[in-house]
Amino acid sequence: MRLNSIGKPFAVSALALAVSSGAYAVTDEDILNDHTTADDVVSYGMGLQGQRYSALDTLNADNVKSLQPVWAFSFGSEKMRGQESQPLIKDGVMYITASYSRAYAIDAKTGEEIWQYDARLPDGIMPCCDVINRGGALYGDLFFFATLDAKLVALNKDTGKVVWIKPVADYKEGYAITAAPMIVKGKLITGVSGGEFGIVGKVEAYDPETGDKLWTRPTVEGHMGYVYEDGKAIENGISGGEAGKTWPGDMWKTGGAATWLGGTYDADTDTLFFGTGNPAPWNSHLRPGDNLFSSSRVALDPDDGSIKWHFQTTPNDGWDYDGVNELISFDYEENGGVVKAAATADRNGFFYVLDRTDGSFIRGFPFVDEVSWAEGLDENGRPIYTDGGRPGNPADAEGEKGEPVLARPAFLGGKNWMPMAYSQDTGLFYVPSNEWAMDIWNEPVSYKKGAAYLGAGFTIKPANEDFIGVLRAIDPKTGEEVWRHENRAPLWGGVMTTAGNLVFTGTPEGYLKAFDAQTGEELYRFNTGSGVVGTPITWEMDGEQYVSVASGWGGAVPLWGGEVAKVVKEFNQGGMLWTFKLPKEDS
Ligand code: CA
Ligand code: CA
């Protein structure tokens, strides 16, 4: 039991206190304090704020060259695609998900399997961007994750046995879930994927013990949110804005704004932060208006899902800039005071620093080499659109196809799903980014349930001959790029930073790499045998510091990448979990 809780007091559920049969139960305090405790990782983000920063420094810039693998674990079967997951670790047991909605518990000392769970998926699932899964959550004696047919699954963390399974949405309408759910104040919180199918995005809270729905918050303006009591929806006046205000006609009914990347939580302001994806369809001429709350960050009250504030990065998004990227809370000092900030690196190519107490814009700047669609941001952070930067209206063209434009970044984004990290030592964000452009044009389209709802065509191309990926160290106070590391293939894996002056990430070429956090010098590389698109973690066990990362090439790039796919077509798929530490004599 830890006594140094820094969270606000609230009732700890009976579940969290329940004595589990096998190992120790995971408590609200474990989760709230995750970023301060080195012996476990019990949240996606290595802390609910999502900083992905570890205070461990046993492994550091001086000795990382001696880092050695201690075991590797195969996810098994022929299902070797896109391993984008982040492991969790508790009491010497690692929990991880894999492609095709699979989950595992593994002995962290030996790499031996404790249990495996394979979701039985129906034939008709519609994942837009590969059959990936990004991770799970722990609470009480349960492990939770979500599936490609849009269900939440609760498993006994010690046995892998199913405790409950609940549908969050109908996969036949195009819903799926790939993000890690999160536990906040005793509630299990999830978003949904499906923005390419005209779904309605939402954030929902469930009772972890029973799977009962507690509240729902749709993320398209005009839809009501509800709190549930005894299984009944209570109309408690939690409006989601006025229907038809920022959407023409009935377009809000199929407006997209999928919450497909999951969220972060800031205990300091008691706020959930979720990003929302593209408005549907992609053809923006069919939906004049800002199309709230698409391509935005929304701040939610975790008790009832009501919206505290929103910040829209790409109003009337016409490029699938899909601003779902994680919003990371951090504090910094300025003019003798502490600024409660939050930062996000958007797919649209701009980096934003917001006041996390009210969502007001502090500053923003491009973090990629070139942004074509906007000339900059105004004093409120709203983009100043470039004349002619938007793909043309098919209604103005002869034939079916509107005037194409060359847009940069490409829709796969200046940064896509892969999480960045924030170092409390350097004050820098470490951003996995890509330099690419696209030809994009609009076409007529009408909504059909369960069918792709784009009204656009595109071809992605590299912006440079010799590199696409760029790992960047960015100063959120100035916008300065402090250092950069270029990579031939697009970067598609998450980032972690440590007090050992290290930054870790993976490459599609197969490497787990470590860099000097201050200078960007590459200090370590190990080839895992397939592309690394997972997110590394670090923790301490028996006085030694460990690093783990999933390996297995896949995700959206080989499926949607156009000319970029040629750069990566020789990469072999895989499905392994690697764990590293220093040899005893070096630590
Ligand atoms: Ca921890
Ligand atoms: Ca999208």
How far is the C-alpha of 126 from the C-alpha of 197, rounded, in Å?
A: 9
- What pLDDT, on a 0 to 100 scale, did the predictor assign at position 587? 57
List CB-based neighbours of ion ligand 1 within 5 Å: 34, 37, 40
Residue 243: the pLDDT is 83
Distance, in Å, from the CA atom of 314 to the CA atom of 325, rounded to the nearest integer, reads: 12
Q: Residue 314: nearest ligand to its CA?
A: 2
Q: Which amino acid appears at position 396 of this protein?
A: D
CA of 38 to the centre of ligand 1 (A): 5
Nearest ligand, measured from the Cα of 416: 2
The whole-angstrom distance between residue 411's C-alpha and the CA centroid of its chain comes to 16
What is the C-alpha to C-alpha distance for residues 232 and 211, in angstroms, rounded to an integer? Answer: 14
CA 52 to ligand 1 center in whole angstroms: 11
342 touches 364 (CB < 8 A) = no
Distance of CA 296 from the midpoint of ligand 2 (Å): 13
Amino acid 21: pLDDT: 44
Q: In Å, what is the CA distance from 63 to each residue of 146, 153, 538, 549?
A: 38, 41, 15, 19
Comparing CA positions, the residue from 370, 440, 442 lying closest to residue 408 is: 370
* Ligand positioned closest to the Cα atom of 2: 1
pLDDT of residue 236: 64
Read off the tokens for 405: 């434009």
Owner of token pair 């899902």 = 305
Give the residue from 224, 223, 275 showing the smallest Cα distance to 253: 223
- Ligand closest to CA 258: 2
Q: Which domain holds residue 530?
A: 2-586
The low-confidence residues of the chain, meaning pLDDT below 70, are 1-23, 236-237, 586-587
Residues 6+ apart with CB under 8 A from 378: 384
pLDDT of residue 78: 83
Q: 421 CB contacts (<8 Å, ≥6 apart)? A: 51, 52, 53, 429, 430, 494, 495, 496, 497, 503
Residue 320 annotated in active site: yes
Pairing of strands 361-366, 374-377: unpaired
Q: Residue 192 C-alpha to ligand 2 middle, in angstroms? A: 12
- Edge-to-edge order in the sheet of strand 576-581: 68-74, 576-581, 544-551, 537-541
The pTM for the full model equals 0.95
CA distance 26 to 52: 20
State how far the Cα of 113 lies from the Cα of 107, in Å rounded to an integer: 6
Cis peptide bond prior to 87, omega within 30° of 0? no
- 534 φ, ψ (degrees, to nearest 5): -90, -175
d(CA 179, CA 260): 6
Instruction: Tell me the C-alpha to C-alpha distance, in Å, between residue 357 and each of 38, 333, 428, 472.
Output: 28, 16, 21, 27
Active-site entry in 320, 346, 396, 425: 320
DSSP state of 397: S
Residue 323: left (phi > 0), alpha (psi -120 to 50), or beta? beta
H/E/C letters for each residue in 526-568? EECCCCCCCCCEEEEECCEEEEEEEECCCCHHHHHCCCHHHHH
Determine how β-strand 151-156 pairs with β-strand 142-146: antiparallel
Distance 586 CA to ligand 2 centre (A): 46
Q: How far is the CA of 33 from the centre of ligand 1 (A)?
A: 7
Q: 412 CA distance to ligand 2 centroid (A)?
A: 9
pLDDT in tens, 312-347: 999 999 999 999 999 999 999 999 999 999 999 999
The pLDDT assigned to 586 comes to: 61
Distance of CA 152 to CAs 42, 181, 197, 262, Å?
18, 9, 20, 13
Q: Which of 15, 17, 49 lies closest to 33 in space, CA to CA?
A: 49
Burial 79-89 (b: 16+ CB within 10 A, else e): bbbbbbbbbbb
- The CATH number linked to 42 is 2.140.10.10
d(CA 313, CA 311): 6
Tell me what pLDDT residue 8 has. 36
C-alpha distances out from residue 301 to 298, 328, 569, Å: 10, 17, 44
Contacts of 211 (CB under 8 A, 6+ apart): 152, 154, 164, 165, 166
How confident is the model at residue 23, as a pLDDT? 58
CA of 84 to the centre of ligand 2 (A): 18
- Distance (angstroms) between ligand 1 centre and the Cα of 31 equals 8
CA 117 to chain centre: 23
List the one residue out of 252, 159, 155 whose CA is nearest residue 200: 252
- CB-based burial, 235-268: b 16+ in 10 Å, e otherwise: eeebebbebeebbeeebbebbbbbbbbbbbbbbe
- Residue 85 CA to residue 493 CA, distance in Å, equals 9
Compute how many other C-beta atoms are within 10 angstroms of the C-beta atom of residue 332.
Answer: 15
Distance 328 CA to ligand 2 centre (A): 21
Structure tokens at 448: 């059909």
Tell me how many domains the chain contains. Answer: 1
* Ligand closest in space to the Cα of 201: 2
Å from CA of 50 to ligand 1 middle:
12
pLDDT of the residue at 237? 64
* Peptide bond between residue 409 and the one before it cis (omega within 30 degrees of 0): yes
Q: Ligand nearest 91 Cα, by number? A: 1
